[in-house]
Structure 1
């Protein structure tokens, strides 16, 4: 037998150790001491020194079958080896993408039962491109796609529940809908025959405090690998318990999804928080309390199934002294964690105004807030994800305001964005919160950039293209972007009989003709207009310089598509990202992009001759020529002596 002392909760550890040692020498057993036969540790896979848990907890690994033995299957999925090339945020790609882009589950922030999926992965010919990208040293495919045999790939598009392989916040399982691909960072559990009730029930058990506690005993490096999940014991569940757990699991999923209905970038989005109550009662604090109650019910059932004592339950629920000191989950490098997907809570006023911008551009459906359209029905947890969120304008529906993909910050203009925002607010009977124009000019893009950045991708869809001082701004809508957009910006907004430049010149002419009769106010206005005229000319010329070779393709994603316009953005951090991206495009680092082919076709076509992946990307496989294997060098013959 061996004596183990646990002093994690002691402030003065030296003094506590001395006192415990004296007590043991005197034949007493202090509360911090555990007397255990080391062979007990062999009950737990890996034989960790789990001396602080009861013998009953350790016995769980022998009494119950493993998750694998109970029919659960867990698989690790796709690693593209180049996410910047092959992965996009949902809003970067057209909703009518078909099978070319598929929903991609990639771990994500800590969240039990429900998690928003916001990524797409290039599938279609993307698979062939990944296979053709080779490691120059080994000659093997960089992506793990070559390691995924058909038996593994067959798990793609099946319903199950997934988790983050590395997480600083702990283990959490959430539903994975049908028609998704999962990544190596988001392994997934499957049940035989994809039975919904069994899957929901198993998700409840794995999200229980008891199961998480048993997993934590095996973790030494903060990585929740599929093997650990499969070898953790699962209790036998009768039909009645399965039904109860499945119902609790479904209710938890439903409430978590409902909480996500006010997140603008979510596929569950309906309305911003300030308007959500127009579709029925909506009280997040009450929903959170209900979720806590559901989790407590799940824990009670699973504790009984595992046969945990009150002391074991307290340990599993995180009472003092239950921490696994071998666990490094909370101390890992944040770069290894997938917990970066969460966005800071957005002010209610900002979320309302952001939604009004989306309504003005035709992204969101005003009718949900006015009662002209019924609230969408709730899907089931494993239903395929929609191409659009319920809050977005359905295909074929009339937008709030007809436009060509460009709105403008220009008082009095028929496409003036601040005026449209105020009109939307009036339609939903919401007060205009302060100076909307000032908010649009100073606050909105920073907020928008944060909202539309996830999984280390930044993908704003409302682009403010401005004069050098920011005195005149065209707001371009990325989903409507075409090769004609820049010409439209010049012809319809800057030049033309009603263009801003023409109007400025008319006013300048009128002031100039006043001559010495100009007042001091006239003089100030005259100077402002002269500066604005020069800035508008510069903006026009820059747009016309870019336009002839600018052929955007949404498959390239926001960052690359916006890169040629970097000098027209006034937000310095975003401008720097785009400038750096443009420099890399010029150097040929992103020659897989359609934009690279538009600007440097000769260079890209030449590369396609030797790079199969690029050839596939540009549908130029006929240019690719397989390199001949290098043969052995012929040995030279010695010349005969003369």
Structure 2
């Protein structure tokens, strides 16, 4: 009986292989014969979405990894005490324990951060919220040597590294946002988890404008150099030109932030990319800037009207769509606007019944 079944199976296999045009090699592979290709050596096609951006899983240099961690500590994302021994590492969870709200290395809710801030740090030597200085302080606390020029690393290398670390397939979600002047000479680093509708106003009032704002300090120094007149040295002249350019760039940055701020109401449910889209022109990393610019164009066209940000910018359009799109109405908590469409043919049937 077993021989008969095996024979039938072989006949079925032959018929199937003939129908689909299998070669001898294909038949051998399908039947798992000794000549078939070993599974470990097979080259398989990757899902385009999985392979599009594998940068996020590339090996990261130890120095870059250390410095990236210090940025997280400075912003209050990671807990320095785990590195200094002031806090014990969390115990290993049991297999069926609920997932924690935060990863073990993150700062627990209610714990004091390394540095108090409003969600913005800055690349500005001498400023109380100067990020490079805070990075060096974190390194000192863990008794690690400062690896080279931290400020230069922050300006040239960090965001590219960070974007790779926080990207997977088509999802790009950097949480440290460098909003810069056109030349990159002055950069505000915004922390996405702390982003609110007031963040851009804070950036202007606490960092650019105000008695101790960068723009005011630049203008004071310009005035002092201007008053020197013909007594200015060649170094003074160079500094004067640099400050003039910086003043114009700071004014441009301030005006751009104030232009965006009134209608900027970020909602973390929209995700990083949509939330950052209105700020696309303030990012200097060209590939990321292009992604955000394209996202903003799609927002303008109405392709992401489910987003809270779309409601903030185009409320009339979104509310109108909610009348005919139930899922959109639910997303914006406007179900009362949705009007159930009358089934096709219902009106015609009603007229026919009246005629009878």
CA distance in 1, matches of 2:261, 2:310: 15
The SS at the match of 1:625 is coil
- Do residues 451 (structure 1) and 162 (structure 2) align? no
Contact 2:70 2:138 in 1 (8 A): yes
How far does the alpha carbon of each residue in 1:19-49 deviate from its partner, in whole angstroms, 9 at most, with x for none?
A: xxxxxxxxxxxxxxxxxxxxxxxxxxxxxxx
Residues 455 and 465 (structure 1 numbering): CA distance in 2 closer, same or farther, change over 3 Å?
same
Cα shift at 1:319: 13
**Cα 1:607/1:301, change in 2 over 3 Å:** closer
1:525-553: CA deviations, max 9, x gaps?
Answer: 00000000000000000000000000000
Measured at CA, do residues 330 and 603 of structure 1 come closer, stay the same or move farther in structure 2, by a change above 3 Å? same
* Offset, 1:291: 42
Cα offset, 1:302, TM superposition: 33
Tell me: CA distance 1:289–1:627, structure 2 relative to 1, closer, same or farther (3 Å): same
User: Cα deviation per residue 1:120-156 (whole Å; 9 max; x = unaligned)?
Assistant: xxxxxxxxxxxxxxxxxxxxxxxxxxxxxxxxxxxxx
Show CA shifts across 1:266-289 (max 9, x none): xxxxxxxxxxxxxxxxxxxxx999
Further displaced range: 406-415 or 309-318:
309-318
Q: 1:304 to 1:434 in 2, by over 3 A?
A: farther
Gap change, CA 1:438 and 1:336, over 3 Å in 2 = closer
Q: Deviations over 1:203-236 (max 9, x none)?
A: xxxxxxxxxxxxxxxxxxxxxxxxxxxxxxxxxx
Q: Distance in 2 between matches of 1:409 and 1:599?
A: 31
What stretches of structure 2 of length at least 5 have no aligned partner? none
- For 1:339 and 1:587, locate their aligned partners in 2 and report how far apart those are by CA, in whole Å: 26
1:292–1:491 distance in 2 versus 1, CA, 3 Å: farther
- 2:329–2:335 Cα contact (<8 Å) kept: yes
Residues 1:494 and 1:303: Cα distance change in structure 2 (over 3 Å): farther
Distance 1:375 1:618, change over 3 A: same
Change (3 A) 1:335 1:558: closer
Shift of 1:630: 2.0
Q: CA–CA distance in 2 between the matches of 1:434 and 1:288?
A: 75
Give the alignment partner of residue 593 of structure 1, picking from 307, 312, 335. Answer: 307
Q: How many residues align structurally?
A: 356
> What is the deviation of 1:323?
2.4
Change (3 A) 1:314 1:465: same
Task: Report Cα offsets for 1:401-449 as digits up to 9, x if no partner.
Answer: 0000000000000000000000000000000000000000000000000
Instruction: Choose from 297, 322, 325 the match for 1:611.
Output: 325
Per-residue Cα deviation, 1:234-286 (whole angstroms, up to 9, x for no partner): xxxxxxxxxxxxxxxxxxxxxxxxxxxxxxxxxxxxxxxxxxxxxxxxxxxxx
How far residue 629 of structure 1 moved from its aligned partner, in angstroms, is 1.5
Residue 502, structure 1, aligned to residue 216, structure 2: yes
- Indicate how the Cα distance of structure 1 residues 455 and 641 shifts in structure 2: closer, same or farther if over 3 A, else same: closer
Structure 2 CA distance for partners of 1:515 and 1:376, relative to 1, 3 Å: same
* Structure 2 counterpart of 1:479, from 178, 189, 193: 193
CA distance in 2 between counterparts of 1:288 and 1:421 reads 73
Report what 1:637 is aligned to. 351
Residue 330 of structure 1 and its aligned partner are, at CA, apart by 1.6
1:558-583 deviations in Å (ceiling 9; x for gaps): 00000000000000000000000000
2:240 counterpart of 1:536: no
User: 1:383 Cα shift?
Assistant: 2.3
CA displacement at 1:331 relative to structure 2:
3.8
Change (3 A) 1:533 1:315: same
Shift of 1:475: 0.1
**Contact 2:49–2:169 (Cα < 8 Å) also in 1:** no
| Deviates most, 303-312 or 390-399 | 303-312
Q: Which moved more, 1:555-564 or 1:341-350?
A: 341-350
What displacement does 1:309 show? 29
- SS of 2:321's partner is helix
SS in 1 for 2:117: coil
> Where does the alignment leave 5 or more consecutive residues of structure 1 unmatched?
1-286
For residues 396 and 290 of structure 1, the distance between their equivalents in structure 2, rounded to whole angstroms, comes to: 73
CA spacing shift, 1:299–1:505, aligned 2, 3 Å: farther
Distance 1:619 1:457 in 2: 26
Q: Which has the higher helix share?
A: 2
Structure-2 change in CA distance of 1:303 and 1:476 (3 Å): farther
Paired residue for 1:582? 296
Contact kept in structure 1, 2:56 and 2:166, CA below 8 Å: no
1:463 aligns with 2:193: no
Instruction: Call closer, same or farther: CA 1:469–1:638 in 2, change over 3 Å.
Output: closer
- With over 3 angstroms needed to count, the CA separation of the structure-2 counterparts of 1:307 and 1:609, relative to structure 1, is closer
- CA 1:364–1:509 in 2, change beyond 3 Å: closer, same or farther? same
Offset of residue 328 of structure 1: 7.3
TM-score between the two structures when normalised by the length of structure 2: 0.85
Q: 1:386-408 deviations in whole A, cap 9, x for unaligned? A: 11011000111100000000000
CA spacing shift, 1:390–1:630, aligned 2, 3 Å: same
**Structure 1 residues 321, 612: closer, same or farther in 2, change over 3 A?**
same
2:70–2:135: 8 Å Cα contact kept in structure 1? yes
CA-to-aligned-CA distance 1:327-377 (integer Å, 9 cap, x gap): 977245544789959610111000000000000000000000101001211
The alpha-carbon distance between structure 1 residues 339 and 401, as it changes in their structure 2 partners (threshold 3 A), is closer
1:352 aligns with 66
What is the alpha-carbon distance in structure 2 between the residues aligned to residue 496 and residue 558 of structure 1? 30
Over the residues paired in the alignment, what is the CA RMSD in angstroms?
A: 9.5
TM-score (norm: length of structure 1)? 0.48
Three-state SS of the structure 1 residue aligned to 2:211 is: coil
User: Compared with structure 1, are the counterparts of its residues 641 and 324 closer, same or farther at alpha carbon in structure 2 (3 Å cutoff)?
Assistant: closer
| Deviation, structure 1 residue 293 | 42
- 2:120–2:188 Cα contact (<8 Å) kept: yes
